[in-house]
Structure 1
């Protein structure tokens, strides 16, 4: 049956408590035995008892795993959840204020390096929520070009190239002229780097963390940086005041940096629009400011969600 009753502890005290084999735990929680073993190796999730190679989990551990699974399905990272005590898990299970959905660009990947990184991200994040809507993959630029005329609608195309070659990139851009292209490269000359930066080309040195790629894609495809602010001015002030909950001043410093970017972005918009429509230089500056803000907001959100810095404001 997979369920047993323990009547004494390692200290000799008498206790009645059901114990469950790993297979029974998997059936009750929906977490596979392979995943439980991996969490034990990576995060120290130890069973209550062992008998040889057989693992036994207590009823309280099973309940904790059920809570963890619920939060995993909501998108919380396992590396954070397994560090939380039971009270904090229960707090996170309570209904939270509804926020607008994150920007999830429809994205295509070109190159085996990126496809492998996507697979690893799906496996490591357990939930499979990788932060982007990956709708197509091509192992090479030649394979992409062969599909010309039958490409899916994309917001962004991420292309891996061993060496940054602007002519090669322009050839890829011609295949999908209305799609934003982000280039992940391993090697580059100073000349090619300067040319990409001057032309506003979105580039990313590879290898990089998957979340770094996600932030670069989101920043590159955000249609209006000004309107996509994650936190209002009032929320930034509240976060600064509640920063002591995190045990350090990092949330306050991040909130102040974001506020300064917001102020400068407003100035840039007014400066560039003195003669009507915002000119190209200022428009590009606004877009870069929006990307910088998005990355800082992503860092700040870790503190906000972990320590409930907006709980009293909502």
Structure 2
């Protein structure tokens, strides 16, 4: 039996998937692509799985698949076809833009939004590759994607301490680089703890533009150019060294006359602070979202580069960074 929590009229499905209503009705009547429920007033209502199916069917049909051959496939099979198609074209995409970003998604409606034509319009310079779509965190732990995703994107209705633990477990199972969580309800204390774990957390609802800016904010960009320009990008590595470790490094006496370990450690701490500040600004309000996403990605990129510099300086000076934990 389908859940009544998330249901849509056919017009909403058409808008999300970028498929005319008449085409969806043909897919349903002729190929049994969807199985809507009927209300007492005989109105058809479609669920989250129907939304994702419509989006995947549209993308696959655009790539040359006959709807008659794919309409009966389940979500997992449709995703497999998408992954194969993405794998065949990833080489060309990488040469063209060098901006491939992989996603694992929890939430069928969220996956439908991300894979829709309307959302893609806000990510013109980024090629998104979905490595897995899951209905729950438990499914992620049971069958993690074969390839570690750059971004683990989740829709969670209610946040609490147990869910945070489950998110971290799932992220470790799939070896995700970054975690982005969208939620409806949650105590501020829980949200703060999630940000301490370097998760990007935003309260729903989010427009396509706002969600696109969240994804932009966890990408390394060339600081000399705007996000809208053609730049190379990969996910920003998570922070390596805590403020406590950086403070200990700053106090170590070395043979370097310019006190490089101390200066580099202080720069990292300042960049990490500003990175967190920019993310919080982005989390709190949609106003100036593009600017805060840009500032967050630039400061995160710089912080990651200086962490590499710190490791080189430490190696030169014989400092064991692991011993400072």
Q: Which range, TM-score by smaller chain?
A: 0.3 to 0.5
Largest Rg, 1 or 2: 1
TM-score, length basis structure 2: 0.40
TM-score, length basis structure 1: 0.41
Larger RCO, structures 1/2 (Cα 8 Å, 6+ apart): 2
